[in-house]
Structure formats: structure tokens, C-alpha cells
Chain A
Amino acid sequence: MADDIPARSTATVQEQAAEAEDEREAERSFRAAPKLNKSPLHGLWALTNRDLVKWYKNPIQLIISLVQPVVWLGLFGKAFNIGALFSSQPGVTTAEVNAVNLATFGTTSYFSYLGAGMLAFIILFTAAFSGMSVVWDRRFGFTNKALSTPVGRGAIVTSKILQSVVRSLIQAAIVLAIAVILGMDTASFTVLSVAGSFVILFLMAFGLSSLFVMLALRSSDWQTQMAVINLLNLPLLFASNAMLPVKIMPGWLQSVIRFNPVSYAVDGVRQMLLGSASATGYAVLAPLWVDFSVLVGFAALLGILGIVLSWRLLSR
């Protein structure tokens, strides 16, 4: 046809135009900034998720962190067979042994008593080591990278606390499952009591993680941080009722224990999981509502302190 040629040239022109448009498109797509999320909490989930992904992609770390509480439970909890200790004495009946156990531990099985303590143990240790990831991030420049973006300073700190809380609770759930498999007394377990225990553990994890993250914020030196962890970890564990009842301890130690938030967490968990609230005598540290109040106060205080101080601690 006669307009064959013009038609083709039109197509060429169109093609050229399209090409030019593509080019401009590429440039624009590179430069046209999208609509940004400017809420002060943006990036919080991204930061938390980063640590969690690193954690679950590396199961070795999870397994190693479970070894200690499980060894305590399996070896110490089983070996420390108080019932057998008494019943091996002549003239002691099983009923009498159970009565002594019940009065001392609030349960007839020391293993179950220790199981509740081990839930606090795993949370304490996970929280303590949450400070290490803060130190590594500073060391490897990740903190500076995050600080050079508009992400909230509070979000950086909160993410460290949250990832530690999530990890602690998951690990505590695993320890609880292992304890049950190994023979923990589940007679008093209800949905409510298990849920309540995890609320208590959550409060403790939140408070302790805030504490250790705060202590780590300024440090870029992992040796110092390890020293801090060791300095706090064992006293917090041993000066508590995690392994033995408070009231068999000397008076001075009892007063220390009453200042240790870990004790209230362990006490609350025991009362709910083992039904030891009704038990009298040595078993109970404080009424359940006191346990809860102390832990709410502890978590709120340290959480707020951590987040408020974060801005100051992160900017040099």
C-alpha cells in the first residue's frame, strides 16, 4: 500500500519514543523515592526479625543453650532424689516422706520443683546473653549503619529486648516440654496456669533483657560484657529460690533473695504450675498477686529506663 512506508516510520518513531520513555522510567525508578513509613516504630519488626532469623537459622546455638538447663534437670534433678534419701531410713513411711517434701517444696517431687526453677534459669541466661548481640553489632559496624538511617533510636533498643524475650519464651517452652517428658508432675496444669506462668516468664524476660541490653549499649568490647554477664548471672540464679526453698537458707541470704526479681518469677510459676499456692510452710515466697506486682514493676521500670536511656547511650 501507498502508506506502507509512513506507517513503518511511525512505528519506528513510536518505538523510539517508547525506548526513551523506558530510559526515563529506569532513571525515575532509581530516583523517585517512594512514600516512606515514618512512624517512630518503623523498622522495629525488621530489626527484631533479623536477630530471630539468625537464631533459628542456626539450630546449634539453640541446642547449646538448651543443654545446660536440661543437664541440670536430667542429672541434678533426678540425682537429688530427696524422697529416696528419707525413705531409706528405717521406720519412715512414704506418706511421711511426701509430707516433708510437700512442706519443703510444695510438691512431692523435687524434680518438678526444679523444673519450674529451670524455666527461670533458661530465661535468665538467654536475657544475659542478649547483651552480647548488642556488643557484636557495635563491633561489626551494624549499629552505626542502623544509626545512620532514620530508624528510631528506641526501636533499635526495643528490638534487642524483644528478640531476647521471644527467644527466651520459646526456649522456656521447650524446657517445659522436656521436663514434662522426663516426669514433671502435671497434675495442676491447666490452660490458665500454663498461660499465667508464661505471662510471669514474659515479665521476667522483658525486665532482665532490658537490664542486660542497657548494660551492653555503650560497650564494644565483648570481654567486658562477658565479665558483666558472669558477674550477674550466677548470683541472680543462686541467690534465688530456683533450686532450693528460701526458708531453709540463712536469714541474710533470705533478704537478698527477696530483692531478686528472679525469685518472684520462680515463685509465681511454681504456684501456678505445681499448685503449691495452697501449700504452707517453706514452699511459698509470697502470695501470687505480690509475685505479679513485683514483676510488672520490675519489667516496667527497666523497660522504660532502657528505652529512655537508649537515645543518650546510643549517641556519642
Chain B
Amino acid sequence: MSQQPLVKVEGLSKSFGALKAVDGVSFEIKEGEVFGFLGPNGAGKTTTISMLTTLLKPSGGRAEIAGLDIHKHPNEVRRVVGVVPQEYTADEDLTGLQNILLCADLYGIPRSNSRPHAMELLKLVELQDAANRKVSTYSGGMRRRLELASGLINYPRLLFLDEPTLGLDVQTRTAVWSYIRMLKEEYKMTLFLTTHYLEEADSLCDRIAIVDHGHIVKIGSPDELKASIGGDIIVVGVAEAEPDISEDIKNIPLVREVKKSGREYRIKSEVGEESSIKVIDLVRSKGLHVTRIALTKPSLDEAYLEFTGRSIREEEAGKMDAFKQRVTMMRARR
């Protein structure tokens, strides 16, 4: 039974007019896994979540959650999943507790169960003291934590988190991360999260799909993604520009690629620590002098940029981000 993936997505697509927001994505998520969708603004992350949580009708493809087709059994799917949306959705005129209880009522959970459970969840996200305050008095971080708690009220097997740390300060972000780890480790919950923060994907996810323009460009564990761009990079400065010893370096075991520019060699190696020592030995044995040496491990950033390109979208994305944050904050203040 646990061999069956909890989520099975095949060729899922969504078009808005001519725009293909999601263009044939396929992936599987195993029970208990933390699966990340990592991609720039407009990549189609939220659209994918909306389809999987039955808010949007796919224009193509199919998906199953816990063996239930999202198109044929939407109500059953809704019972199995929990959603923490990108925006704040809590009712500001109600208290935090009232919001969660309302959510529970919508799932048909009897109050005898939802009341203690809601308090338990509020304690989990450290909001128990604010439980009876109106949400309009909450800070942005408190709202995000409240959304997280209401997403858990229906005992979901699969929790969707859409950019759970957008616009949060470092403290709250760290707290949200620890809740996510706890959900995985203590409650064995399966999580689907989207983000465009690389450290977040790297530290939380078991597997990551890098998405761009509605496509999955690469899928794998963080380590696999890092390895896929070709290992560690060693930069060696040599005092003498001549002779060129590139060919000799290339013969060192584990070295994949060597590029010389001026007095510097950029070397890609599968295991940087081992190769770098051999490179130094080689340089010296040729009677040359090493002026500096640097070893860099590939980060997810490198992998991400390799797969999504380094175009100006970075800047645009930054602007969009700031805008979205402003909108979310405006609501937070309201």
C-alpha cells in the first residue's frame, strides 16, 4: 500500500486563453515525502496547486491523490488534503479560534472534536495566547501561522503550502520551517510546498522539481540537482602564464573539465578536496608557483540558475516579489 505514490500527476496542464500557465507536468510524490516546487514568479506553481486542490479545472492531463481522481472525486480529494494558500484568507472580523472552527465546520468536523483540536493546533503554531483576538490585530507572521493551523484542521494526509515564508522575517521563517519539519518527522505528513527561496527548498525538501514557464525542467533530490551541474569547482592561480598545463590537469583522476584564462585555471572535479591537492602537486612538479587556490561546492543556486537561465527575470522577479509582499502586507494591516 505504501508502495503506491500518494500523488500521481500525468501531463497536467492549464491554459488561460493563449497562455499555458502549466504545460504538461508529470510527477509523483511518495507518502511521507516533502516535495518542493521551485520556480520563478509566474512559473505556474500556484496554478498547479489550485488544480490539485480542485479549485481550478485542468485543461489537460490527470492527477490522482490517495488513489482518487481529482476530476471525478473532488469532494473526497478535498477531505484528504489541506491547503495553506499564498494569500492570507482568514476572516479579519473573527478571532483566530473562530476562523479555525469555521474551517472545521466546513469540513463537517463536529465541534466536540474540532474545539480541542483547534486549540492544539493553535498551540502548535504558538498562537494560543492570541486565540481569542480578532485577526485584524494579528501581525503578518501571526496570520501566516494561523493559515498553517487552519490548513491542518481536517487531519490532512497531504498538506499544500504555497510560498509559506513569503514576506516573513527571519524569526518567523525559521519557526515555520521548524513546524514543517515537525509535521514531516512527528506526524509523517506528506507536504507539497512551493517556494522561490533556494535555501528553503534545499533545507526542507526531499525532492525538488524546478519549474519554469509551466514546465518541470529538472526533478530530483537537492543533492542530485547539485551534482547534475557537474561537481565542485577549483580555481587555481599560477604565477606563470606559460606553459599551459591544462592537458596534464585533465589527466588527474576525477577531473572533468579544465578552462584556462590568463594565469587562472577553472577546474571541475567530482571530488574537489582530492583533486585540489593533486593539482597543487602537479603545478609544483612542473616548477611553477601556486598563487591562490579556491574550492567551491555547487549550491542549489547554481543548479537553479543553470536550469532556469540567468536572464533579467531575476530583477523582474524581485519587483514582483516586492509588489506581492506589499499587497499581502496591505491586507495584513487592514
Within 8 A of A (CB), among B73-95: 75-76, 78-79, 81, 83, 85, 87-89, 91-94
A106-148 to B contact mask, C-beta < 8 Å, 1/0: 0000000000000000000000000000000000111011111
Q: Are B106's CB and A43's CB within 8 A? A: yes
Q: Which of A25-33, A229-237, A239-247 contacts B (4 or more CB under 8 A)?
A: A25-33
| C-alpha gap A39/B105 in the complex (Å) | 12
Contact of B55 among A35, A57, A142, A144 (CB under 8 A): A144
Contact of A46 among B55, B79, B88, B105 (CB under 8 A): B105
| C-alpha gap A27/B186 in the complex (Å) | 8
Q: Are A150's CB and B85's CB within 8 A? A: no
Who on chain A is nearest to B53 by CB? Answer: A148
Who on chain A is nearest to B109 by CB? Answer: A34
Q: Are B106's CB and A37's CB within 8 A? A: no
- Give, as a whole number of angstroms, the nearest-CB distance from A149 to chain B: 4
Contacts of A27 in B (CB 8 A): 186-187
Taking the complex as formed, is A92 at the interface, i.e. its CB lies under 8 A from any CB of chain B? Answer: no
Please judge, given known A-B contacts A27-B186, A36-B79, whether A149 and B106 are in contact too, CB under 8 Å.
yes
Q: Are B108's CB and A43's CB within 8 A? A: yes
| C-alpha gap A150/B154 in the complex (Å) | 11
| C-alpha gap A51/B264 in the complex (Å) | 70
Who on chain B is nearest to A145 by CB? Answer: B89
Q: Are B78's CB and A149's CB within 8 A? A: yes
Indicate the member of A32, A140, A149 with the most B CB atoms within 10 Å: A149
- Give, as a whole number of angstroms, the nearest-CB distance from B74 to chain A: 8
Contacts of B27 in A (CB 8 A): none
Q: Are B85's CB and A141's CB within 8 A? A: yes
- Give, as a whole number of angstroms, the nearest-CB distance from B286 to chain A: 64
Taking the complex as formed, is B323 at the interface, i.e. its CB lies under 8 A from any CB of chain A? Answer: no
Contact of B94 among A30, A39, A47, A50 (CB under 8 A): A50
Q: Are B89's CB and A144's CB within 8 A? A: yes
Indicate the member of A31, A58, A148, A316 with the most B CB atoms within 10 Å: A148
Within 8 A of A (CB), among B154-208: 154-155, 186-187
B102-113 to A contact mask, C-beta < 8 Å, 1/0: 110111111011
**Does more than half of chain A's interface fall in helix, strand or loop, or is it mixed?**
loop
Q: Are B85's CB and A151's CB within 8 A? A: no
| C-alpha gap A148/B186 in the complex (Å) | 25
Within 8 A of B (CB), among A194-219: none
Q: Are B108's CB and A29's CB within 8 A? A: no
Contacts of B81 in A (CB 8 A): 148
Indicate the member of B54, B89, B186 with the most A CB atoms within 10 Å: B89
Who on chain B is nearest to A36 by CB? Answer: B108
Taking the complex as formed, is B56 at the interface, i.e. its CB lies under 8 A from any CB of chain A? Answer: yes
Taking the complex as formed, is B126 at the interface, i.e. its CB lies under 8 A from any CB of chain A? Answer: no
Contact of A148 among B76, B78, B93, B98 (CB under 8 A): B78
Q: List 23 A-B contacts (CB under 8 A).
A: A27-B186, A27-B187, A30-B187, A33-B109, A34-B112, A36-B79, A36-B107, A36-B109, A37-B108, A50-B94, A54-B91, A54-B94, A58-B93, A141-B87, A145-B85, A145-B103, A147-B54, A148-B78, A149-B78, A149-B107, A151-B107, A151-B108, A316-B56
Residue numbers of A with Cβ under 8 A of B are 27, 29-39, 42-43, 45-47, 50, 53-54, 57-58, 140-142, 144-151, 315-316
18 new A-B contacts at CB < 8 Å, known A31-B155, A33-B155, A43-B105: A34-B112, A35-B110, A36-B108, A36-B109, A42-B105, A46-B106, A50-B102, A58-B93, A140-B87, A144-B55, A145-B89, A149-B78, A149-B106, A149-B107, A150-B78, A150-B106, A150-B108, A151-B108
Enumerate the 10 nearest inter-chain pairs by beta-carbon distance, A residue then B residue, closest first. A46-B105, A141-B89, A37-B108, A34-B113, A149-B106, A151-B106, A36-B108, A33-B155, A42-B108, A145-B89
